Each structure stands twice: as C-alpha cells, then as structure tokens.
Structure 1
C-alpha cells in the first residue's frame, strides 16, 4: 500500500515538473523553418526583376545585329530642293572672239569668249552649291554636233571637274565641230531628259551659254520651235546667256531668232555684253530656279544591323541604369 502511494506521488510530481518546463526549448520540441505565404503575394513583386527582364529582352536584338543583316536591293523615293538642269556650253570657233572679264577670266589662258562662258557656267554651279539646292546637272558641249559630257548627276564636284577638262586650251583646240548649232544642243538636252525618264517630270530646266552666232532655223528637217516643242509641252524653261562683248540686245542678228524661241518655253534670254550682265543673269536664273525634284534612289546590299543594335543597346542601358541607381532592382528573389 505504501508502495502504491509512493508511485502515485512520483507520477504527480513528474506531471507538475513537465507542466512547468514545457515552454522552454528542449529535446521534446521540433523546430520548423518559416513557410512563405505564396498565395498572398502581389504580381507587382515581379517588377524587382525589371533589370534582368530588360537585359534578356535585348539579347534577341543583339543576336540579329551580330548576324549583320542587309537588304539585297532597295528602292526609295527621295524629294529635295533643286532642279534637273541641262547645262549647254558652246565650243564653236566663233567663241574665240574676245570677251574681257576680270573676274571670270582671271585664270584663263586668254580672253576668248569660250573661257568666259566656261567660267560663267562654273560660277552658276557654285551659286547653286552655296544655296540649299541639291540639283541633278547634266553637261553638254556643242558645236556643229552636241555631245553629252556628263549625264545627270547630283555630284557637283564631278560637273566642276568636267568643266575644268573641257575648259583646257588644248582640249578646246581639239574640239572637232567648229560651227554653231544651238538647236542640236537643245535637241540633245530634250533627249537626255527623255533617256532618264525626266521629260514628263516637274523641276526641269535648260541653261545655254553661247555667243548666239547661229542663224540656222532648221535642224534635221525641223524648225527651232519644233525642236523646242517637247520642252514647251513639258514646261521645261530654257535660259540662254548670249555672250557677245559690247553687243546689246539686237546687235547680234540671231537675237531675233533665239529670244522669242527661248521665251516661248517660259525661260528668259539674256544679252550679256559684259561681265556684270553675266553675273546678274546667273543670279536671276538661280532665283527663278527654286523648286523640288523627286527621284528614285536604288541601293544594293544595304546594311540593316543598326536598328537592331540600337534596340539592344537601349534595353541594356536602361537595365544598367536601374541596377546601379535603384536598390529595389537589386533584390533577389
């Protein structure tokens, strides 16, 4: 009986002791890690990975740029201020006549009218270069026949080089056709416009530098007016600077032929009797020649990597900026 009471007392004592020590960590407790509550997280938390997302978005563009893509053949319509100008230079033997010009003939071998007109043509081109224009210019040299020296080009330096070559004394003396047939030069200009499919386009004009010593009114069985019919029909104005020293309008017999023919196209006839008249004519033609031209531009194997490289660089730059300046974007996960 005493033994039973002792056992009961010991059991009660153990129960009281355990009750007093159950709040303390010990061998009878199991520690568990915290469990994240994914069910209540906001979708906005993905924003903290914005820098990484931008970096990954730039990778496809970088890969495309690295592949160096290009287009085999491209065509684009381009419009810019300027005109299509057929520039005609008279190289006939009558152009050997004297025409003093202190500024235009400063570097010429002599005072021949030919060198004055070549220098005047160069002054006209430089006048266009100094402005906002981007012309297409073709150069034609003529005598009894007309020759295309340089077809239409936007390269002003190329035209200036061609003028330098034809303005050489040796080349001038070798020019085979010593007569003057202005109508053939106009016909050749019209054909040049037609060859480039410019004849029906807006923005065309012709400029002639000649001493005007041409009384031929029939060219290949056609009158001067018939030769210029294409220019009149397509509204191509013709400007003619007649260079004959100390000879005013009407002092040269063919003035009565060429002035009405030229002005019928909507252009103007300038009787240049001295250097000042030439410069005034150049300024007037330049002022009258404002406009725009539209051309088709073709290119082959045109590189196309730049847009892709730009996109990759943009994504990566923004990602780097976020990573370095905003601590929130450096948290992971």
Structure 2
C-alpha cells in the first residue's frame, strides 16, 4: 500500500490493525475542533479596523494562504501523535500456512474374503467407506492407494486430488486383481517401495483388511520390519465383526493377530471397524 494513499483512512484498512489503545482514535475529530475554537476566539478578540477600502484594492493572494501552514502542520502532528498513542500493530510479512507434510498410503484388501457380509453390504464396501471417510478428514496431506489380493498394485500415487482419489475408490471391486488369496506382505512391500523416497517428515500407511494372509512370498512380519526401517508407521484396521456369524457362501476368516503385530512393529495402532463408517 502506498504511504500517501487515501486508502489508509478507509474503515477496512483501520480495522485490519490491532490497536492497543483504540480510544485515542476517538480524539482525532477533536483536533479540527480545537483549531476552529482558536479561530473563533481570535475573531472575537481581534480589533477590527473601521477603514473601508474600495473593492478594487482587495486582492486575493496565494501567499496569504501560507499563514495557515503552521496551524495545519500542528494539526497533522497532533493526529499522528494520537494514532501513535493508539499503538497500531500489524505485520506486513506474508504468513503461509503449510501442511505438516504428511504422506499417507491407503492399503486396501480386495480379496474374496472381503466379500463376507458381516458388514453390509460386505466387508469390501464397508472398507471403501472407511477409506472415503478417512479422506474427508484430511487437508493438504498427500494420499495414495495400494490394492491387493493375491498380488499387490499401486492404484494411485501420492496426491492431494482427493476428488479423483475418492472416485477411484468408488470403482474398486474384487475382480480388479485376477490372482486369488491375500498377500499382506506383498502389499506392504509395494507400499514401502512407493513411500521410501518420500521426503515427508511423517509417512503413514493405513492397512484395511480382514487380516487373513494366505499367499505371497514375503511374510507380513518381515514386510512390517521393512516399513519400520523406512520410518513408515502402519495403522491397521480389521474389517471383521466379533460375532457368531456364518456365511452362506464363504467361510468367515480373519487373523487379527497379524494386523496387531504389524501395527506394533511399525509403531502404529490397531483398530477394529465396528460399522461401515469405520
């Protein structure tokens, strides 16, 4: 803002400052009143000459205006003094609010066992809802997506495009990966591979699964140690309800111990989803 700009006197400009003693500003209108009172007293006490001069001898001179300069300068000085006494405070520095630089990888199990219906309509759809709710709660963090069943694939790189990420999650189904089984170790390995070069101060993986590891060349515990080595905290969410439930089509399977151990090794935390909202 230009120092000599009249925008300094706009209400929004004044309101943008913090004033330690705002009440001094209320005295500013009194400054011209002081000079008006001084002028009135001067006129009252002035000895008027009774000499009448012809109008042609009365000429206006710009020089005569200079007699108001001292009073004007004094008035301006008084106004600035009152502003100074009000103690305005404002930072001209541009403040940028930066995220903490958290990188998060969602690791979603889409294996056949996730079609169990202890959640409605099934575990997979409930897990997708958990993922969507998680994304809604984030701001400025980069989030990626890994899916797995018998194999693991990186479906979305780390991104802040939450809308695209959510749309991708909406389209996930159990037929995206042809190989059957649940390879949790492979999923963690893919996650580590995607996050190991990240320069983020905090790296997190959220593993959403029923915990039933059945295939894969890499043991989940070993993969967890690998994640820990790259400073990736792994939080696990078990998509299993603790209840006496027997599926008509598939055997109800789960292994919470695997998920608990992964969370423990990676200094994360284990959770159990209680409903479709997580």
2:135 to 120, 125, 128: 125
Q: Report how far residue 173 of structure 1 moved.
A: 3.6
The answer on 1:206 being equivalent to 2:205 is yes
Q: Deviations over 1:168-216 (max 9, x none)?
A: xxx534541331111111110000113xx21x64210000111112256
Mind listing any 5+ residue stretches in structure 2 that lack a counterpart? 1-96, 245-251
Q: Report how far residue 82 of structure 1 moved.
A: 4.7
Equivalent-residue separation in structure 2 for 1:121 and 1:113 (angstroms): 12
2:171 to 165, 170, 176: 165
Equivalent-residue separation in structure 2 for 1:188 and 1:244 (angstroms): 24
CA contact (8 A) 1:98 1:245 kept: no
CA contact (8 A) 2:210 2:254 kept: no
For residue 80 of structure 1, give the secondary structure of its aligned residue in structure 2: coil
Equivalent-residue separation in structure 2 for 1:151 and 1:85 (angstroms): 10
Q: Report how far residue 229 of structure 1 moved.
A: 2.3
For residue 212 of structure 2, give the secondary structure of its aligned residue in structure 1: coil
1:90 to 109, 115, 130: 109
The answer on 1:263 being equivalent to 2:264 is yes
CA contact (8 A) 1:97 1:112 kept: yes
For residue 157 of structure 1, give the secondary structure of its aligned residue in structure 2: helix
Partner of 1:230: 226
RMSD: 2.5
The answer on 1:139 being equivalent to 2:158 is no
Q: Deviations over 1:129-149 (max 9, x none)?
A: xxxx30111111100101111
For residue 172 of structure 1, give the secondary structure of its aligned residue in structure 2: coil
Q: 1:215 to 1:179 in 2, by over 3 A?
A: closer
User: Larger relative CO (CA 8 A, sep 6+): 1 or 2?
Assistant: 1
Q: Report how far residue 262 of structure 1 moved.
A: 1.8
Q: Deviations over 1:81-104 (max 9, x none)?
A: 351001011110011100335xxx
Q: 1:240 to 1:94 in 2, by over 3 A?
A: same
CA contact (8 A) 1:91 1:178 kept: no
**Higher radius of gyration, 1 or 2:** 1
Q: Report how far residue 261 of structure 1 moved.
A: 2.6
Higher helix content, 1 or 2? 1
Query: What is the TM-score when the length of structure 2 is the normalising length?
Result: 0.57
Q: Deviations over 1:271-309 (max 9, x none)?
A: 33x218x63xxxxxxxxxxxxxxxxxxxxxxxxxxxxxx
CA contact (8 A) 2:235 2:269 kept: yes
Equivalent-residue separation in structure 1 for 2:253 and 2:116 (angstroms): 13
2:239 to 229, 240, 243: 243
Partner of 1:297: none
What is the number of equivalent residue pairs in this alignment?
A: 175
Partner of 1:178: 180
Mind listing any 5+ residue stretches in structure 1 that lack a counterpart? 1-77, 102-110, 280-333
Q: 1:80 to 1:116 in 2, by over 3 A?
A: same
Partner of 2:81: none
Query: What is the TM-score when the length of structure 1 is the normalising length?
Result: 0.48
